[in-house]
Amino acid sequence: MYTGGYHKKLEELFKRSNVKLGDSVIIQTSNETHTGILLPRYEYADDNHLVLKLKNGYNIGINLRKIKSIKKIVEKAGTSDKHSIDYNYVDNFSFESTDQNFSKGDLPNLSLLSTGGTISSKIDYRTGGVMAALTAKELNDSIPELVKIANIDPEVVLTEYSENIKPEHWSLIAKKVANNILSSKYEGIIVSHGTDTMHYTSAALSFALQNPPIPVVLVGAQRSSDRPSSDASLNLIGACTFATKSKVSGVFVAMHYSISDDVIACHIGTRVRKNHTSRRDAFHSIDVSPFSLVKKDQIEISNQYTDLIFQQRSKSFERMIVRPNFENKVSLLKFYPGFDCRMIDYCVKSGQKAIIFEGTGLGHINKGCFSHIKSAIDNGILIFMTSQCIWGRTALTVYDTGRDLLNLGVIPLSNMTSETALVKAMWCLGNLKEVKDVVKMMTTNIANEFTKRITVD
């Protein structure tokens, strides 16, 4: 049985000191005094340290050999003698409201849909890993700053790490978002999501929900909500600020703009990509600037977006188009030196309906694969070309390799990212029956998946 992760020596110390997990304690060591909450320790940790959560939110480990005494802090009369672990620590930064006289009835209403991921997780003290734990309500309740921004209606749609998200989940999320929009109760929709595949889901919602009358903002966290270095609170605060104060509608992703806690960036759902495994500023807009920056309670819109497709926030949902279906049988293949062209043949045999290639540079693939590509196209598979370069666009007319691919029937996708291209192909094939309609839709700009050649700010 799990006993808080502490083994015999520390359990005996706790018993002698009459303390237990969750108690506020004062620990005297050989040269320091520490005050905090006694936390569990993961099952696989050593038997020589205990974990204490300090008042500033940080956790420290204290060596058993240095401990002189542990004393429980006795509550004053009229207060509870129970102590709970504070998982809701917020860094020393908040988006302060300029209106100190608001009442809850004056605030806009937001829908908060939780799908899981790190933003809805906390540390599992049995293993030391992160586990899904927070519901949408718990996430909302853990961030007191939100009560100054909006009345938030939390709801759990999924509880999945983002690596477990599938196209059928996109359909489920899209339908739920659409239903909440059609209810006319909300000024915006917030979708909390794991970061690893959040840019896939944001692209999926961008295609499945065209012309939404209100903002739909996906938000995640690189670090779980109970960590003192967590970005969860600030990202969610920034997402809610943008959803309530922006004048435009569409699908966006809200995450840290830099490693500092002063600005949140809101990216277009089809132009964003996760480019770092763990940094707070892991997400970047590709070939464009972030749509806006949220600085405290102020929103700054980039001047790049005058020529892009956006509609003003509206109370009418008559223009909204909901097409939530996705086809699974689409593959994303990355070309590399030594690429086995038989992978293309496998796509044919497995019944794939389209292949998105990440070609080199301008969109090139080894000529040894040309016969395999021709065979796939002859078998009715659509083949689209993107670049494995993060920035820039394909150009199959520059070199003879590209011109040969065009002659084979490969369709270039300019500067659409490969992740967005994969999602769009799944969406097109899930909602359109005729091949010619799929090709036309794939090469038509629907949700800013293509952009003009502009200079990034």
The CATH number covering residue 398 comes to: 3.40.50.40
Q: What is the span of the domain harbouring residue 407?
A: 330-442
Task: Give me the phi and psi of 397, to 5 degrees please.
Answer: -105, 0
Q: What is the pTM of this model?
A: 0.77
Q: Is 81 helix (H, G, I), strand (E, B) or coil?
A: coil
Q: Is residue 180 part of a domain?
A: yes
Name the strand (E) or helix (H) holding 426: helix 418-431
- Name the more confident of 393 and 104: 393
pLDDT of residue 48: 81
Residues 253 and 378 grouped into a single domain? no
pLDDT of residue 416: 98
Residues 240 and 338 grouped into a single domain? no
Residues 406 and 258 grouped into a single domain? no
Q: Is residue 93 part of a domain?
A: no
**Given 53, 122, 176, 274, the catalytic residue:** 274
pLDDT of residue 274: 97
Q: Is residue 78 part of a domain?
A: no
Active site residue 196: yes
pLDDT digits (tens, 9 = 90+) for 377-394: 999 999 999 999 999 999
Say if CB 358 and CB 386 are below 8 A apart. Answer: yes
pLDDT of residue 47: 74
Closest CA to 230 of 364, 17, 57, 347: 57
Q: Is residue 428 part of a domain?
A: yes
- Name the more confident of 320 and 54: 320
Strand partners, 272: 285
**Given 23, 53, 115, 118, the catalytic residue:** 118
Say if CB 438 and CB 432 are below 8 A apart. Answer: yes
pLDDT digits (tens, 9 = 90+) for 273-306: 999 999 999 999 999 999 999 998 899 988 777 6
Q: Is residue 305 part of a domain?
A: yes
Q: What share of the chain has pLDDT > 70, as a percent? A: 81
* Distance in angstroms (rounded) separating the CA atoms of residues 165 and 115: 9
Give the pLDDT band (50/70/90) at residue 316: confident
Q: Is residue 450 part of a domain?
A: no
Tallying the residues shown for the chain, one arrives at: 457
Residues 208 and 306 grouped into a single domain? yes
Residues 246 and 218 grouped into a single domain? yes
- For 334, the token pair is 């990355």
pLDDT of residue 264: 96
Last residue in a domain, options 322, 349, 380: 322
Residues 196 and 302 grouped into a single domain? yes
Q: Is residue 437 part of a domain?
A: yes
Residues 265 and 310 grouped into a single domain? yes
Residues 393 and 258 grouped into a single domain? no
Residues 378 and 244 grouped into a single domain? no
- Displacement of CA 252 from its chain's centroid (Å): 11
**Given 53, 153, 195, 201, the catalytic residue:** 195
Give the pLDDT band (50/70/90) at residue 88: very low
Residues 6 or more apart from 44 whose CB is under 8 A from it?
127, 128
Q: Is residue 97 part of a domain?
A: no
Residues 6 or more apart from 106 whose CB is under 8 A from it?
none
Active site residue 118: yes
Last residue in a domain, options 72, 92, 123: 72
Count of domains for the chain = 3
Last residue in a domain, options 298, 322, 346: 322
Say if CB 192 and CB 117 are below 8 A apart. Answer: yes
Residues 144 and 255 grouped into a single domain? yes
* Distance in angstroms (rounded) separating the CA atoms of residues 161 and 158: 9
pLDDT of residue 181: 96
Residues 6 or more apart from 126 whose CB is under 8 A from it?
2, 5, 40, 42, 43
Residues 256 and 337 grouped into a single domain? no
